[in-house]
Amino acid sequence: MKLERREVVKKLLEKRGKLLVVAGLGSTAWDITAAGDSDLSFPTWGAMGQAAMIGLGLALAQPKRRVLVITGDGEMLMGLGSLATIGVQKPKNLTVAVIDNERYGETGMQVTHTASGVDLAAVAKACGFKTSKVVTKKISWRKTVHETAGPNFLQIKVIAEKLPLVLPPQDGVLLKDRFRRALLGKG
């Protein structure tokens, strides 16, 4: 079974509290914005392949906060080595959720390698993630994101669908400053 991405992301962000959220470029940035923009969200504009590494940096710098990276399978495939670094660093407070539509949605729905069976969850497990699974039905999203000791990896199979764009602010400095202010209380 494949899930609906906007519904999944809404669930992942439900009652988010002080959760720190990083999104990959394109569709996952639109997804987190559709669920409700927040100063504690850091959607990337570009930087393809970097979302999990930004999440790792945050998780290490803020060990008392939970960190959630929501990104696409294409974005994750581009930064595959980051899974090895996370596996070595083992931040307990980090979850990486890949919204896997098996497509490069933003650039015309070209198929990615996950459509040919590349198992990102198995890669994460082999790299040393504490928990890792392919998700094809609803799970206790909240528990994984807020409670389960990580690093956690979710490869969430979703329907390949083109949805209306819901854009976050487009100014990178503004996004960085508002996140920093909300987290540290200074600009």
Ligand X SMILES: Cc1ncc(C[n+]2csc(CCOP(=O)(O)OP(=O)(O)O)c2C)c(N)n1
The DSSP output letter for 158 is B
Of the residues 41, 59, 66, 75, which one makes contact with ligand X according to CB under 6 A = 75
Q: Does 3 bind ligand X (CB under 6 A)?
A: no
For 80, 124, 184, the CA distances from 154, given in Å and listed in that order, are 14, 9, 28
Q: Are 93 and 66 in contact (CB under 8 A)?
A: yes
Q: How far apart are CA 187 and CA 176, in angstroms?
A: 9
Q: What number of CA atoms fall less than 13 Å from residue 31's CA on the CB side?
A: 31
Least gap, CB of 169 to ligand X (angstroms): 18
Q: Does 141 bind ligand X (CB under 6 A)?
A: no
Q: Are 24 and 58 in contact (CB under 8 A)?
A: no
Q: Does 72 bind ligand X (CB under 6 A)?
A: yes
Q: Does 101 bind ligand X (CB under 6 A)?
A: yes
Nearest to 38 by CA among 27, 29, 26: 29
Residues 30-59 that bind ligand X (CB under 6 A): 46, 48
Q: Does 168 bind ligand X (CB under 6 A)?
A: no
Non-local CB neighbours of 1 within 8 Å, separated by 6+ positions: 136, 137, 157
Of the residues 73, 123, 129, 153, which one makes contact with ligand X according to CB under 6 A = 73
Considering only the stretches 22-30, 82-90, 149-157, 165-173, report the one whose residues sit in contact with ligand X under the rule CB under 6 A: 22-30
3-state DSSP helix/strand/coil percent for the chain, to nearest 5?
40, 20, 40
Of the residues 55, 87, 91, 105, which one makes contact with ligand X according to CB under 6 A = 105
Closer of 104 and 153 to ligand X (Cβ): 104
Considering only the stretches 89-97, 104-112, 123-131, 140-148, report the one whose residues sit in contact with ligand X under the rule CB under 6 A: 104-112
Least gap, CB of 125 to ligand X (angstroms): 21
Q: Residue with CB nearest ligand X?
A: 72
Interface with ligand X by CB under 6 A: which residues? 24-28, 46, 48, 72-75, 99, 101, 103-107, 112
